Structure 1
Amino acid sequence: MVPTSARANEGPLPLEVPARTGATAGRRRILFVVGDDADSLWLHFSYVLANILGHEYKLECSWVRLTNERGSLQGSHVDGMQICKTSARDLARLFRYPPAQVVHALGTHAIRHCQRARWLVYPPPLLLCFPGQEPTRTPTWQWLLDRATRAKADRYVTADYESRASLLATGIEPHRATVIPLATRRRTSPSRAVARAAVEANHLRFVLTASFDLADPSDSQWLALEILAEMIHRGVPSLLIAAARSSVVAESVWQRAHDLDVAANVRCTELLPDTHACVVGADVVLLTGPQPAAPWLALAALDAGVPVVKSPKVRLPPAVAELPAARELLHPLSREDLHTWLDTMEDFRPRASRASLPRPKPAPVLPTLDDVAKEYFALYRQLYRYRPRRR
């Protein structure tokens, strides 16, 4: 805690955590602007980060999705997300009313329009850019690296130092590139304890976890239910934890499970915000298709030390595939037919001879969400304290 006298010399800190009295007046606003090319891994992480900033730090988090002629973003988990045209003037209006102190731009399209909109707002909000995967290989990103344009962004945030080195190689100043790792788990989670207790009640039960993003009956995500049905048909007591994107998708999962007569062996839960609870008690995580949540679910599984079996169609970003734990826990399939999946499942299901042995608890490979949120909050305060008066 900073003494009052010292704080008076520094001036007020605009993003100081207010007293938790339940009042919402004067809450600082964080705006997340999502482009149609936003990386799904950063999108899921941003939702979880916003959830912590809102509950723990009492910051008001709002979401805006930009639209253009190429379509809209798939796999949004945010209720009440505003839709905005790709116009700097319209976006600047959202910056002003109500005033946004910090803007997170997800995707190169969002970065470009947010940088333009900052010229129309005074005082301009802080701008944090999340380029996502391989930002230096697109013509749009080369345009963003122009000297006049680059000066508009306060920070470019990456998840590892290798990505930061790629940004520095393109001409970004070192003080504008910040490394803040991704995270998927909280320090304490009541739902995680409930999930672990439910799994440990039956050591011989084979627990699978899969994500369900869409209600489309032809999507490859339903292969997880077919795998569950075949494992039960083979006499293996199995349980599927279905991490659904929304209640509508959960209803579709229940209906499909009833059709396959495996509804009693399916547990539907929310994918966000506590994804770690969906994977912590599983024996294996299934990535049956290129769903938007596949990279995020794989990251949570690797952090929990749970094996991941993925389809050949699933492409994981370097932030996930290059983790040290991925060498041992990530198992890509050469084919994606049902028999290949079932033969692979035999390698992971628990045996009766090992039922009495406690499951090993691997060390986490990522920091906690609480620590990462603290880093972001400290970055907000630092940028506010030293930001220039005008751009």
Structure 2
Amino acid sequence: MQHFLDVSNLRQVLSLDSGTAALHPDEAVYESMLGSWEQQQRSRSLAEATIEGRTSTVRHFTDYAGSYPWKWQASDMDEYTSHMRSKRLAISTIRQRQGILQVFCSYLISPDYDWVEICEAQFGETPSQICLPWNTTKHVADYEGLPAKRALTFDEIEMLFNYADSRVETAIRDGRKGALAALRDAQMFKTAYAFGLRRAELRGLDIHDLHANARVPQWGQYAALHVRWGKSSKGSTPKRRTVLLIPELSWWIDGMQQWVGEGRALFAPGELPALWPTERKTRVSLEYIDRRFTALRREAGLDPALTLHCLRHSYVTHLIEYGYADRFVQEQVGHQHSSTTAIYTSVSGDYKNRILADALSRFNTLEVP
């Protein structure tokens, strides 16, 4: 439902032609600015969640500045950035908010729209671009995440999943509630690692996303995953890809067979196709996934800096250490650029020493006696 006035109706309400003043012209103009900007973004097929997030950022800045867009100045942006830094927001978050405000200001001052004319006639002031090259954060590094976030070692992966399995066994032995949810969670996180999935990709899996691979018929329907909720870009729909299970991670199959054949049915999901259903016959939420991983990591005694996304970093790193080609790894995780895959890679010292030893061995065979 439309909760704002389009430009033609706004002109009538403001009575720019008749000379009759509106009761609250500033609020009317502001809400119409935001509403029209939202429509412009929908015309680009941007996701509703993206549009809502951008609008929220503009409203937050408006509240902070204490003024409407036609009164904003570059100094307001300077103060807002200092405020964000004082809150210890990530550099990427600061740059993202600055980018949103820059796009909004560009929309307002574009000659293709009437906002400059409307503001000039109504308020005697006009919007301007407040996000300038000298007061916004530049993207100068490929990776801006926290240095503490890293790939898990093989030992840490084993420790995490052993602990997740032990929670299931303990709950069953003690006759406590939660054994089924613990089984689901254990297999869910194993799946995130075994296929290098993002959080939304993991949550969006359906039972029919399990696929066979003619090269390994003995694995049946557990040889590949069809990922349908990959990260979208520039207003596109979620990207799709098929991720193949590799032999080194085929231990995942036994647990998945147990989950699909026995565990999942106990949730009585009915017609819900979700691979990870809940007692309420819904999909697990993104918040639940984060919360459960954090609890498992803490209880297993692992580094507090490790997050669910670190399992994806671990997958990339371990595939490289297993000897898979860079291009194969890039396709598996759905990266458009190889440089992104390289950011995720953090091979161990043992791997580097092995590569060096192989290189030295080849070099020595080429030496002239």
Question: TM-score, length-normalised on structure 2?
Answer: 0.29
User: Comparing both chains, which one has the higher relative contact order based on Cα–Cα distances under 8 Å and sequence gaps of 6 or more?
Assistant: 1
The structure that is strand-richer by fraction is: 1
The structure that is helix-richer by fraction is: 2
Question: TM-score, length-normalised on structure 1?
Answer: 0.28
